[in-house]
Amino acid sequence: MSSFQTFISKVGDVVTDLKPVGQTITSLPAILDAVRHPESINDRLLLLEKLLTLMAELGDSKAPPEYQKISLDLQHLAIDLLYKDLPHPPASYLALPPASKPISAKAPTPYKEGQYVTYAYRSADGSNYNPLIPSLGQAGTPYARSSPGFMQTNFKNLPDAGLVFDTLLRRPTKAEAPGEKADGFTPHPGGVNSLFFALADIIIHTLFNTDRQNPTVNNTSSYLDLSVVYGNNEDEVESVRRKDDQNRRDGIGRLYEDVFADNRLLLMPPATCALLVLFSRNHNFVAQRIFEINERGIYKDPATLKAQMNKGFAPGASAEDEKLAKQAKSALNAQDDEIFHRSRLVNCGFYMKVILGDYVGAILGLVKDGKDWRLDPLMEIRRLSHEFSPRGEGNVVSLEFNLLYRWHATLSREDKAWTEKTFKEVLAKAGINTTFDQLTRQQFYRAAGLALSKEQLGDVRTWTFDNLKRDSNGKFSDADIANILQRSTSYRAGAFKARGIPDVLKVIEVLGIEQARGWGACSLNEFRKFIGLEPYKSFKQWNSDESVARAAELLYKDIDNLELHVGMQAEQSKVPGPGAGLCPGYTISRAILSDAVCLTRGDRFLTVDFTPFNFTTWGFEDCQYPSTPDGSFGGMLTKLLFRHFPAYYPARSAYAHFPLLDPKFMKVQMEQAGTADKYIWTRPQTPVGVQTGETVVVDSYAGATEVLYNPKVWKSDYEKKLGIVVSGLQDPKLPDTKLVEEVLRSSSHGWPGFFVETANRLVKERSINHAGSTARYVDIVDDVINALPAHWICDKLIGLNLRDKKAESQFVTGLQDVCDYVFLDWDPVHDWQLRESSVAFFQKLHKVVKHHLESESRFIPNIIGHLLDEKTPFLETLHRDHGNKSANELAAALFCQVVPTAAHWSQSVAHVINYYLDASREGAREEIVKLVDEGKTKQAMDLIKTALVVDPPVYGAERTALRATVVDGLKEAAAGETVFVSIVEANQNIPIGKSGIIGAGEYGLLAAEFFEKVTPGVVGAILGLPKLGRCPGPSGVFTRFTQHTRGAPEQIYINALGGLTPFPTSLIISYDESQSKI
């Protein structure tokens, strides 16, 4: 049985077993046809679309686990099948490359001379992707030929290319057919917008760059390596890599500001270049982050290395200094190369996930249908025969797919106008005065060559587009780039159709038709046979539009003579539906999926070398799909837009969540799904006061205290965010917490004792032994400090049993998510996930508390509750004194009072412990223990606050001006302008006699009444452990780094999986059990 028959058989089994799944029933005719004609499938029955829809239904995150498993099994078979659609390696090429074709020999600089570089890296020209066939897919080698052409029509009998365009491809200037607007434009029926095709432009130009002098050669590599940003050879790569004014390496592996290497894209609509700027910026973001995290601890400050170079290479330097300078230069180059190459891997990994998540997601209609399942061609697959399905074996793009990706009919009205204007300007500069219809090949090449010449463009760092201006650092304004991207999101693309290509592109299409003939391309039917589709028997079957079919028949006489390029572009297009979002012609629709699988699965840097070791742990995690729904249904471009333009893409903006679909179209889809209210559908407004894209930083002590402690002028979002958690997006409001505060206060005498007893118990229970010694080790953060407020809330307040460590960890995560969302959610990247997680956590706790309070009024549930130890004295008192407050209100009020600040309390204690663990502070540590033992908690708090001023739990806070005002040391802040207060910087210059800033305000567990009553006892108990010290190695220190994303320092912690969090995750300490009082 063939692999295809195995696949169809498996699908048949699924249809039989899962009759409740509606989509499977409609698949039956298509499956029956495939079984009968496995080598000649009738694609009009939409087999592929139905199978993908079936896999998406079964594999959606909301589907039962057993369905997801079936979806995965089907996906394994489908990917293996699609990968085998094309031969690996190709059997035929347009020409044979020279036997001596050199591979890229330049390797990154090793840290020690003579050593190999141990990390994987992409070569500049795409060589060495397959180590056994080094030139496979390399830039500067010939195109492959997927399907040989046996069409016997003499070239002289083929119709004139210009006539073909005029009769089959040209877009009318007025409505001539159903669905066309008055100007002849047909809007895309699947809601796809211009930004989708700007991304398609990048993908196409990444893979195809035909050499004008030798058109058999592809001057770019055959991989999704972002060569349009980085370049296709060493010279191009060097032109974009950052160097200082002495031509020395950057040391952090960054690119120059907002650069890209491929000048062809400058003649594309501006959204294409805006996306290139986005990926260019992402490279620099990744490089900076990899350097800051310094996972292996080998990176050094570039300024220090360059200082050593300056000293050693200066006239009169000693021999020793000269030796050290040479070592510093080698270290600088090795470090810069490593970070550059790792950052490129991560950036390309992100690019690939954008292609699979956003691009393919839109192609298959998954986004519009609200499905977060994605086809994953990268996965490791073991066949039933126990063989591995091939991955990472290399790839060579073919002439057929070069012709396939010419989607000029989709040009939007706005991009058509831009293209016409640009063509006129380019032609005028070349001294050419003619109409688009009469423009010749030679005139076009002359004008384009001049426009893209080195003399015309200058250095890559000065390139511009859409008349944008660079600043003194060479960077474009955030506002300008965001404006272009948002405009493109709002532009509806054109439909795939015959007679849909604007006449301004006639010369491009004519060149394409003639080039296909020069390559000896196969016919449309030959290509359809090659990919397993039924050949067309007539022109009417190819396109049911009578006038189109008749024109094609007049030109080509026999359907088997219909050329591939023309046949694909003028073929009848699909209609929107499940599994169909792009809606091109049927042949294109089938072929692009095979191509997507081959392009990604054949790239070893996206498969076998796509590892945390090569990408770094953080980098690997950063380019994964969201682990929980983020409102984008599997999209990844959302994350980039939020990351790089947070001021211009606010949280919940549909322009960020669905960037490749027309917002008007998508709003209708979400209204039908009942989820439209979760999004903001209007185009984002320009934020007040933001010009450069960075929020103003307030870093002086006077300015910080003025902003933080003057709520009449500066407001926070805390109450609004918490209101959203407890009341919803549409009407965020907070409950009255006075009664809860009073009942909490009445039981406050027992708080310190519970916290200290619980801390001692957890230390004892969760410590591990040191073999042959009385030394013990415990993760004081994960196993003790983070758990303390969780146990207090559950045991003493709400009556929830934390059955085991897993339940405890989940509860702690809930506390941290609420705290993060309410107090720390400054940029929109994680806003959706934090909000949804916080709401779910609230609903869980609210349900528990409401149930307990309501059961107090019922005798039998009340007795059962006491027997099961679910009730707490606190809830009994709250119920007794509830007055006219409902259980619903009281449960919400309790949540608001104790949950949002619980994680901040834990973080504060963790920072204090970490501060006093240093050997240099042993005396102060002993003093705290002594003061606590003597009951002098006020004096102990002074020492605790000292630590928190140096290492505050909250490094900064955002505030928005309610009216125009002047902040110390800054310009006037406009009403509605948001500033970022850098607490850690303000604390570095505290005036004499003033107190340091510990947090952004006193709330809940951070209020003095709780914090100063409970914290000293816990700190004293931990610091009082005998022979207290740090665990040897990295486990004994915080895994954190300082980032500067808002122009101010901010501490970020790294969890065990490489994810980032604002909260400490681990700190292992040691102590001596033999002397312990626990």
Tokens representing residue 290 in the block = 């990899």
Q: How many CB atoms lie within 10 A of CB 818?
A: 28
Instruction: Please report the DSSP string for 616-645 in residue order.
Output: -HHHHHHTSPPSS--SSTT-SHHHHHHHH-
Tokens representing residue 744 in the block = 């909490």
Confirm or deny that 408 is annotated as ligand binding: yes
At 1022, the amino acid letter reads I
**CB contact at 8 A, 306 and 251:** yes
Buried b (16+ CB within 10 A) or exposed e, 853-885: bebbeeeebbeebeeeebbbebbbebbeebeeb
Where in 717-825 does DSSP place strands (E)?
768-769, 775-779
Nearest alpha-carbon partner for 524 in 400, 406, 396, 405? 400
**CB contact at 8 A, 610 and 349:** yes
* Backbone angles phi and psi of 271, in degrees to 5: -65, -30
Bridge-based pairing of strands 696-698 and 978-982 is parallel
What is d(CA 342, CA 619) in angstroms, rounded to the nearest whole number? 8
**CB contact at 8 A, 219 and 289:** no
DSSP, collapsed to helix, strand or coil, labels residue 120 as: coil
Cis link prior to 900 (omega < 30° from 0)? no
What is d(CA 74, CA 55) in angstroms, rounded to the nearest whole number? 7
Instruction: Please report the DSSP string for 811-843 in residue order.
Output: HHHHHHHHHIIIII--SGGGHHHHHHHHHHHHH
DSSP, collapsed to helix, strand or coil, labels residue 393 as: coil
What is d(CA 509, CA 521) in angstroms, rounded to the nearest whole number? 15
Q: How many CB atoms lie within 10 A of CB 241?
A: 18
Tell me which H or E stretch contains 958.
strand 956-961
Where in 194-311 does DSSP place strands (E)?
217-218
* Cross-strand pairs, 776: 769, 1071
Residue owning tokens 């296909």 = 516
**CB contact at 8 A, 1020 and 940:** yes
Tell me which H or E stretch contains 986.
helix 983-986
What is d(CA 820, CA 835) in angstroms, rounded to the nearest whole number? 9
What is d(CA 469, CA 580) in angstroms, rounded to the nearest whole number? 40
Where in 46-95 does DSSP place strands (E)?
none
End-to-end CA distance of the chain: 69
**CB contact at 8 A, 788 and 758:** yes
What is d(CA 494, CA 815) in angstroms, rounded to the nearest whole number? 48
Using only the alpha carbons of the chain, give its radius of gyration: 32
**What dihedral angle (degrees, nearest 10) is formed by the CA atoms of 389, 394, 400, 402?**
130
* Cross-strand pairs, 959: 979
Tokens representing residue 542 in the block = 């190819």
Residue owning tokens 């009738």 = 42
Nearest alpha-carbon partner for 839 in 730, 1002, 716, 955? 730
Residue owning tokens 């040479």 = 326
What is d(CA 832, CA 843) in angstroms, rounded to the nearest whole number? 16
What is d(CA 257, CA 669) in angstroms, rounded to the nearest whole number? 38
Which residues are known binding-site members?
A: 408
Which residues are known binding-site members for heme b?
A: 408
